[in-house]
Structure 1
Amino acid sequence: MGCCTVTHTNLDHLVRWESDWAGLRVVVAGLGLSGFSAADTLIELGAKVLVVDGSDTEVNRARADTLKIVGATDVLLGGAHNDALPLIDGQAPQLVIASPGWNPRQPLLAAAAEAGIEIWGDVELAWRVREKEGRKLAEWVVITGTNGKTTTVGMTESIFRAAGLRSIAAGNVGTPILDAIRDPEGFDVIAVELSSFQLHYTHSMSPLASVVLNIAEDHVDWHGGFENYKADKAKIYERTRLAAIYNAEESVVESMVENADVVEGCRAIGFTTGVPSLSMVGIVEDLLVDRAFIEDRKNSATELVPLDSIGEIVPRHTAANAAAAAALARAFGVEPEAVAKGLSGYDAGDHRIQAVARRDDVLWINDSKATNPHAANASLGAFSSVVWIAGGLSKGVDYNELVSSNATRLKAVVLIGTDTAGLREALQRHVPQVPVIAADVRETEEEAVAGAGAGWSVMAAAVRAAAEIAAPGDTVLMAPAAASMDQFTSYAQRGEAFIGAVGALMGETSK
């Protein structure tokens, strides 16, 4: 199955749907949502498509059957197929499409790179086929950052729709970007969430506007180091045409804009949770204002929306996300009234600083989506006296800065998860006076959640432990600062476990 000699194929001519894709030999690495969408698109374009995925699951077998029916050359499932670059009709592939989860050191991708074969992601493919005769050509505004991407892309979509534009949020959230691109009617504008993985495999995208919300240590194992992670995030600014939007409170992000090779005439637009300087969007007396996209920006600012219209709890990072979304929409030309309507009507959904209950002046908050220290820092910073439920799959991150910067807020810490050593060490180093309690599962809790998984029992124990410590004026905050897959199937399941445990506790205490 392996290949050795490859003749490099120049793919520069493949820039629209009607380009000559017929017969192009393509290996698609990964059969998740983005991989399936890429394979399906390429088959429709007439390419010869072979798909590889290390997981031989029922879901993947069903997807494989579908792709074979529509014309895939082959679909190879199982770990053995990940270790070499397969041939297509006895010849080396001319292109490899990498799913976001596949890191560059994976043997198949490493072999493709060594052989000089181009490696794209689904976003690169989508950018190249976005233009099609008879279909509306959508503008792209693109969003990345360590945290806040999904919230910001949702806010941006809501603003566009409030303005009467046909818009959709796509990419790393919700709809795969290729599914959005292939919509028969097309869109006026697409708000595209991009992960660092997707950006790594994106090479020619030239969006109308782009933003990096923030940057912090994350996914260093995938990228092979923090510097590589930052470099991939910074790629979002390359070839931006109108507005390169940056977090004015993070010097690293500002330097990304300063070093970006943007299209001539592109403006650098800052956003801030403080009073905005010239060419920024920011906050003045609890009002979100625009001092970037108005004529007299030197002397004035335009009111966009009061913060209390956005939500009951608007912590600093939510205000920052709203400012970034507003800047993207204003770059597109959306009027202030639509910005206000879109942000006021936006529903953040569950698991992100979600108020679950309040009893005896104790507030219970579910922030299961805080899967890394940077996200947890944002929610910890929103409250003054916190009983913190934390822990999980740490992904090799450092907790020292998170703990030290929130030392005065922590009343107690209840640990969940199977990998708490790093967090324990940081707590002992910076807040040795703060009680640290391991969730102690009782037999009754095991019985109460029988069949639901060990994580549910642990969460019930954690909630009980937090309740025993919390006093009036405290917030019990479940913001794990870690991934969920050690004890749960997803951050959403972890959040549901917390909500269920709090509900059960409230039922008990009301008896």
Structure 2
Amino acid sequence: MGGWSVSEFFGTGPDLNTLPVAGKRVLVAGLGRSGMAAADGLLAAGADVLVVDDNASERNEDSAGLLRTLGAEVRLGPGSTAELPEGFDLVVTSPGLRPTTGVLAAAAAAGVPIWSEIELAWQLSTAHLPAPERTPWLAVTGTNGKTTTVQMLESILTADGKSVALVGNVGRPVMEAVLDTDTRYDVFVVELSSFQLHYSHSLQLHSAAVLNLEPDHLEWHADLDEYAADKARIYERVTHSCVYNVADPATERMVEEADVTEGARAIGFTLGTPGMSMLGVVDDLLVDRAFVEQRKTSALELAKVDDVRPFAPHNVANALAAAALARSLGVRATSVRDGLRNLKLGGHRIETVAEADGITWVDDSKATNPAAAASSMQAFDSIVWIAGGQAKGTSFDELVPAMAKRLRGAVLLGVDREVIRAALSQHAPEVPVIVVDSTETGAMTEVVEAAASMAQPGDTVLLAPGCASLDMFSSYGERGDAFAAEVRKRTGPA
């Protein structure tokens, strides 16, 4: 923010008076990072901006002070998002606010458009340009694996010599990267949640992937059908490649039903031998039968399965999805290999914390729903499972019987621990269970002690909670850090 003018940012191409928000009254709901970036972009585009947030925290007060100096009105404190004031032309919402939030429900009832920060960034930076002049957006959604996949994709594109903005549900808000005039990006890699897609209406992505579909976030969405419909929005108007998971028919149906740009292709990824227009695995190699001229009869080697780190079947699938998106942009095959080898994932994703006395301690705190936990568990044979937190309306009745033979025992914590205990009692009564009733952050000490009492040489103690973390921690990262700290106290330095 600061240091640039509107004309310098948008250039001389579009008439600033024709930008979709110039001269409009716009309400920004939520003052997190995406709300701050949205307000900044709106002010740059000449909008009259009001920002509202129910949280009057010190951080929000600091942000509000800055926005006020830039010309925005800001209202903080309880009830700020309860109503829509009269006279507003547009609402831009942060992803955490549910559609039932007062201001959003009122806007919908009054026919006032509601955009995500993603939609705003698209409208201000891209929608006014003809397709050949747009910076390509490659986007990923799905219940599980989004962050790992976009990090893989970023690494592959970087290995190919491209300047990449990693944005959206991970990294920076898209609008923040759009406002970054110091860097000319070759491509935007965008992780999209169902919340963000719910209020994104005109995206025309170069290529997009839906990795999988499992029940999640049913506390936000009306039902699973609405959740799936929001995920499917990512394929609408795609210009090049719609990447789907062959093992998850729901994702292929999304492609079949999408209204794509003429000429866009359906590209599958599979852990098996790929058919034509797919990427897959042959003899421990990741191969491409989609973006090669002779795809009817041959496939191109992209990388070895061993190049995928950390290794787990679902990570191989993530790598194939990332490779498909990169190849849709013309990336060299060797860049897929180099990008996977050079990858440095963020923490708390199947991360080995310690190995001591024949026991391996693994942090997969990022596994915040049952399907993600199940994927993590498939990488290990004998597990002491640490689970619990906020179940978000999901069920463990499929996970437990599928994974019961792998379980040495289970340690449960968090507000919905009884949901998991009930599933274990019904479907795997032979599995020993220890329930930690404390809901204080320090409960992780007791959790690790309980897991250690169950574990035997050859076992993996796996933190794969299958639940969100905000009942006890500020984030899944803080939960994973607490676990790792207690493990290291017990086992000594790594």
* TM-score using structure 2 length: 0.93
What is the CA deviation profile of residues 49-80 of structure 1, one whole-angstrom value per residue up to 9, with x for unaligned ones? 011111111111111111110111x1111122
Asked if structure 2 preserves the Cα contact closer than 8 Å seen for 1:25 and 1:49, the reply is yes
Q: Distance in 2 between matches of 1:137 and 1:251?
A: 32
Q: Distance in 1 between matches of 2:194 and 2:266?
A: 21
Q: Match for 1:455: what amino acid?
A: T
Q: 1:165, CA displacement in angstroms?
A: 0.8
Q: Match for 1:54: what amino acid?
A: D
Asked if structure 1 preserves the Cα contact closer than 8 Å seen for 2:412 and 2:435, the reply is yes
- Give the equivalent residue in structure 2 for 1:270: 268
Map 1:153-168 → 2, pairs under 5 A:
153-168=150-165
- Give the equivalent residue in structure 1 for 2:252: 254
Tell me if 1:207 matches 2:193.
no
Tell me if 1:326 matches 2:323.
yes
Tell me if 1:121 matches 2:116.
yes
Gaps of 5+ in 2: 1-12
Q: 1:17, CA displacement in angstroms?
A: 7.8
The structure 2 residue matched to 1:468, chosen from 453, 473, 489, is 453
Asked if structure 1 preserves the Cα contact closer than 8 Å seen for 2:417 and 2:435, the reply is no
Map 1:355-370 → 2, pairs under 5 A:
355-370=352-367
Q: Distance in 2 between matches of 1:455 and 1:60?
A: 24
Q: Match for 1:390: what amino acid?
A: A
Q: Structure 2 vs 1, CA of residues 17 and 230 (structure 1 numbering), >3 Å: closer, same or farther?
A: farther
Tell me if 1:403 matches 2:369.
no
Q: Match for 2:82: what amino acid?
A: D
Q: Distance in 1 between matches of 2:450 and 2:384?
A: 10
- Give the equivalent residue in structure 2 for 1:433: 430
Q: Distance in 1 between matches of 2:407 and 2:84?
A: 51
Q: Distance in 2 between matches of 1:276 and 1:23?
A: 52
Q: Distance in 2 between matches of 1:486 and 1:219?
A: 15
Q: Distance in 1 between matches of 2:338 and 2:409?
A: 40
The structure 2 residue matched to 1:459, chosen from 434, 444, 458, is 444
Q: Distance in 2 between matches of 1:187 and 1:480?
A: 37
The structure 2 residue matched to 1:477, chosen from 447, 455, 462, is 462
Q: Match for 1:500: what amino acid?
A: A
Q: Identity percentage over the alignment?
A: 50
Q: Distance in 1 between matches of 2:385 and 2:187?
A: 40
Q: Distance in 2 between matches of 1:22 and 1:332?
A: 33
Map 1:411-450 → 2, pairs under 5 A:
411-439=408-436
Asked if structure 1 preserves the Cα contact closer than 8 Å seen for 2:413 and 2:437, the reply is no
- Give the equivalent residue in structure 1 for 2:298: 300
SS at match of 2:385: strand
Q: 1:81, CA displacement in angstroms?
A: 1.9
* TM-score using structure 1 length: 0.90
Asked if structure 1 preserves the Cα contact closer than 8 Å seen for 2:43 and 2:71, the reply is yes
What is the CA deviation profile of residues 417-476 of structure 1, one whole-angstrom value per residue up to 9, with x for unaligned ones? 1321211110011100010012377xxxxxxxxxxx9223x2111111111221121111
Tell me if 1:50 matches 2:47.
no
Tell me if 1:106 matches 2:101.
yes
- Give the equivalent residue in structure 2 for 1:70: 70
What is the CA deviation profile of residues 78-119 of structure 1, one whole-angstrom value per residue up to 9, with x for unaligned ones? 1222221024xxxx1011111111111111111111111111
The structure 2 residue matched to 1:493, chosen from 466, 478, 484, is 478
- Give the equivalent residue in structure 2 for 1:38: 38
Q: 1:325, CA displacement in angstroms?
A: 0.3
Q: 1:220, CA displacement in angstroms?
A: 1.0
Q: Distance in 2 between matches of 1:302 and 1:34?
A: 40
Asked if structure 2 preserves the Cα contact closer than 8 Å seen for 1:139 and 1:208, the reply is yes
Q: 1:411, CA displacement in angstroms?
A: 1.2
The structure 2 residue matched to 1:232, chosen from 230, 254, 258, is 230
Asked if structure 2 preserves the Cα contact closer than 8 Å seen for 1:16 and 1:129, the reply is no
Asked if structure 2 preserves the Cα contact closer than 8 Å seen for 1:28 and 1:52, the reply is yes
Q: Structure 2 vs 1, CA of residues 304 and 79 (structure 1 numbering), >3 Å: closer, same or farther?
A: same
Q: 1:275, CA displacement in angstroms?
A: 1.4
Asked if structure 1 preserves the Cα contact closer than 8 Å seen for 2:308 and 2:315, the reply is no
Asked if structure 1 preserves the Cα contact closer than 8 Å seen for 2:414 and 2:437, the reply is no
Q: Distance in 2 between matches of 1:99 and 1:418?
A: 26
Map 1:125-164 → 2, pairs under 5 A:
125-131=120-126, 137-164=134-161
Q: 1:285, CA displacement in angstroms?
A: 2.0
Q: Distance in 1 between matches of 2:368 and 2:15?
A: 38
Q: Match for 1:454: what amino acid?
A: E
Q: Distance in 1 between matches of 2:284 and 2:78?
A: 54
- Give the equivalent residue in structure 1 for 2:89: 94
- Give the equivalent residue in structure 2 for 1:12: none
- Give the equivalent residue in structure 1 for 2:5: none
SS at match of 1:388: strand
Q: Distance in 1 between matches of 2:315 and 2:274?
A: 16
The structure 2 residue matched to 1:223, chosen from 221, 224, 231, is 221
Asked if structure 2 preserves the Cα contact closer than 8 Å seen for 1:137 and 1:187, the reply is no
Q: Structure 2 vs 1, CA of residues 224 and 16 (structure 1 numbering), >3 Å: closer, same or farther?
A: farther
Map 1:333-412 → 2, pairs under 5 A:
333-412=330-409
Which segment is superposed worse, 481-490 or 209-218? 481-490
Count of equivalent residues: 475
Q: Match for 2:96: what amino acid?
A: G
Asked if structure 2 preserves the Cα contact closer than 8 Å seen for 1:17 and 1:45, the reply is no
Q: Distance in 2 between matches of 1:480 and 1:239?
A: 36
Q: 1:23, CA displacement in angstroms?
A: 1.7
Gaps of 5+ in 1: 1-14, 442-452
Q: Distance in 2 between matches of 1:140 and 1:367?
A: 29
Q: 1:402, CA displacement in angstroms?
A: 1.0
Map 1:155-194 → 2, pairs under 5 A:
155-184=152-181, 185-194=183-192
What is the CA deviation profile of residues 2-59 of structure 1, one whole-angstrom value per residue up to 9, with x for unaligned ones? xxxxxxxxxxxxx968334432110111111111101111111111001111111111
